[in-house]
Amino acid sequence: MAKTNIIGVYDDEDVLMKAIHFMQKKNIQIKDVLSPIPIHGVFEALKLTTRLPLATFFYGVLGTSLTFAFLYWASVVNYPLKFGGKPLNTLSFIIILFVATIFIGTFLTFMTFFIRQKLYPGKEVQILDPRSTDDKMLIVVDKDEKLSAAEINDIKSAMRESGASEVNEVEEITTKKKFVWKHEKDIH
């Protein structure tokens, strides 16, 4: 069975910020916030954390050591060739170490990000509401099967109270079926 999300559509970022705090006060689990622009404070308000910078650091260390190992093997162990009177294991490594560290660090960070987000080139991205790439901001709440009708109503009314211009239910489509956006008009 396809999963369903309850989506509150907001027109203004300040209203959205207030809505996030309002809903958190009511103990509603916010699954995601979608917005066409970066909004200050959303990251902190949702208490999101990321270990990506730490991963990048270790990829950098890995890149430096791998590149050094290769350079050392190539110019000292495997094919020791003296030129310019310079020692074999030299400072001239540093420039390529510098560049390769940046490359490996960035590349692996991106790979990690793509894998964690289950993204790949050519993936059909499901957009919960196409207007969220234009001028609307969304608060997404998971519509759990365990939730009772009253609880779902609570969530919807909380969205409306906090200034949502519309409240919709959108079904998530996981298969290759073309994505259909069901528009359930909000009754004020």
Quick one: 91 or 150, whose CB is closer to another protein?
91
Q: Sort 48 into a burial class: Cβ within 10 Å, 0-12 / 13-18 / 19+.
A: exposed
Contacts of 161 (CB under 8 A, 6+ apart): 22
**Binding region for another protein (CB under 8 A) out of 20-28, 39-47, 101-109, 136-144:** 39-47
Quick one: 92 or 133, whose CB is closer to another protein?
92
DSSP alpha helix (H) spans, the chain: 13-25, 42-45, 52-72, 93-116, 149-161
Quick one: 81 or 187, whose CB is closer to another protein?
81
Instruction: State how far the Cα of 96 lies from the Cα of 110, in Å rounded to an integer.
Output: 21
Interface with another protein (CB under 8 A), residue from 25, 40, 146, 177: 40
**Binding region for another protein (CB under 8 A) out of 5-13, 25-33, 85-93, 136-144:** 85-93
Quick one: 83 or 120, whose CB is closer to another protein?
83
- Indicate whether 43 belongs to the interface with another protein (CB under 8 A): yes
Q: How many CA atoms lie within 13 A of 104 on its CB side?
A: 18
Residues touching another protein, count (CB under 8 A): 12
Phi, psi torsion values for 93, nearest 5 degrees: -65, -30
Interface with another protein (CB under 8 A), residue from 38, 87, 121, 122: 38
- For residue 67, the tally of other CB atoms under 10 A from its CB is 19
**Binding region for another protein (CB under 8 A) out of 7-15, 16-24, 89-97, 136-144:** 89-97
Chain contacts with another protein (rule: CB under 8 A): 38, 40-41, 43, 57, 84-86, 91-92, 94-95
